[in-house]
C-alpha cells in the first residue's frame, strides 16, 4: 500500500512538472508585458533582416526589409513586393522587372495566421510557452521564450521570441514550420514614436499608374 502511495505521489509530481513546463507562468507574465507594450503604441516602424534555412535540403535565403505596424494593421516592404493590410483588406503588390500587379483579398479570419501584427498576441491561443534563458540580441539583453504548438498539425510547430529584458520590446523571432524550414526576423532600427493613420496601410493605385489590379474578394 505504501509503495502505491509513493508511486502515485511521484506520478502526480511528474504531471505537475509537465503542466508547469507547458504553461510557464513566468513566460506568460513576460509575454503579457510584451503584448501590452505593443498595444500601448500608436505604431512602430522598423528595418529588419530576414533569414531562411532548411536543414533537410540545405536551402537558404537572406534579405532585408521594412515593416510598420499599428494594432492589427501592417505594411511590409520587401525587395520584390509590398504588403498592405488595413485590418479588413490586404493588398499584395508584386514588383518584378517591368511588370507590376497588385492582388486584393479580404483579410483572413484565421487567428493562427502569422503576421507582423499577430506575432505579439499569437501565444494567447494554441501554444504552450516557457522561458529558455537569455542571450544578447543586437547588443541588448534579451529573454528567450519558446512557443510550442499544442496541435501537432499546426503550420508553425515552434516559435522563439526574443524580448528586450529592459523595456519588453520584441527584438527578433524565429519560426520553425512543418517542412523543416526555419525563418528568423531580426529588428534593426526601431522607431516607436510614430503615429500611423489608416491611409498608411492602404494601397493607393493612383500612386502606381499602370499597375494591374486583381481583385479576389
First to last CA, the chain: 67
Q: How many CB atoms are closer than 10 A to CB 16?
A: 10
Q: List, in sequence order, every residue forming a beta bridge with 65; answer none if it has no partner.
A: 48
Percent with pLDDT over 70 in the chain = 89
- ∠ at Cα 155 (151, 74), nearest 5°? 120
> How high does pLDDT run on average in the chain?
85
Q: In terms of C-beta density within 10 A (0-12 exposed, 13-18 middle, 19 or more buried), how is residue 140 classed?
A: middle
Pick the CATH number of 24-215 from 3.90.650.10, 2.50.20.10, 2.60.40.1840, 3.30.497.10: 2.50.20.10
Q: Interior CA angle at 57 toward 52 and 58, to 5°?
A: 55
169/190 Cα distance (integer angstroms): 10
Q: pLDDT by residue (tens digit) across 28-79? A: 999 999 999 998 888 899 999 999 988 788 888 899 999 999 988 999 999 8
The pLDDT of residue 21: 47
Q: How far out from the chain centre does Cα 39 lie?
A: 15
Q: How confident is the model at residue 112 (pLDDT cuts 50, 70, 90)?
A: low
Percent of the chain with pLDDT over 90: 54
What are the residue boundaries of the structural domains of the chain, listed by start?
A: 24-215
Amino acid at each position: 500500500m505504501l509503495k502505491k502511495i509513493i508511486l502515485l505521489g511521484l506520478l502526480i509530481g511528474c504531471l505537475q512538472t509537465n503542466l508547469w513546463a507547458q504553461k510557464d507562468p513566468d513566460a506568460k507574465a513576460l509575454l503579457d508585458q510584451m503584448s501590452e507594450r505593443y498595444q500601448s503604441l500608436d505604431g512602430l516602424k522598423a528595418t529588419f533582416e530576414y533569414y531562411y534555412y532548411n536543414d533537410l535540403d540545405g536551402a537558404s535565403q537572406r534579405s532585408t526589409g521594412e515593416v510598420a505596424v499599428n494594432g492589427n494593421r501592417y505594411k511590409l516592404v520587401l525587395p520584390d513586393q509590398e504588403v498592405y493590410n488595413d485590418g479588413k483588406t490586404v493588398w499584395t503588390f508584386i514588383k518584378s522587372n517591368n511588370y507590376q500587379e497588385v492582388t486584393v483579398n479580404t483579410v483572413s479570419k484565421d487567428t493562427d495566421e502569422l503576421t507582423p501584427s499577430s506575432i505579439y498576441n499569437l501565444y494567447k491561443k494554441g501554444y504552450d510557452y516557457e522561458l529558455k534563458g537569455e542571450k544578447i540580441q543586437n547588443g541588448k539583453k534579451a529573454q528567450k521564450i519558446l512557443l510550442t504548438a499544442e496541435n501537432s498539425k499546426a503550420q508553425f510547430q515552434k516559435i522563439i521570441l526574443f524580448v528586450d529584458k529592459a523595456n519588453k520590446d520584441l527584438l527578433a523571432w524565429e519560426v520553425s514550420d512543418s517542412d523543416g524550414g526555419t525563418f528568423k526576423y531580426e529588428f534593426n532600427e526601431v522607431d516607436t514614436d510614430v503615429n500611423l493613420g489608416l491611409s498608411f496601410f492602404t494601397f493607393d493605385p493612383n500612386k502606381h499608374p499602370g499597375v494591374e489590379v486583381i481583385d479576389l474578394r
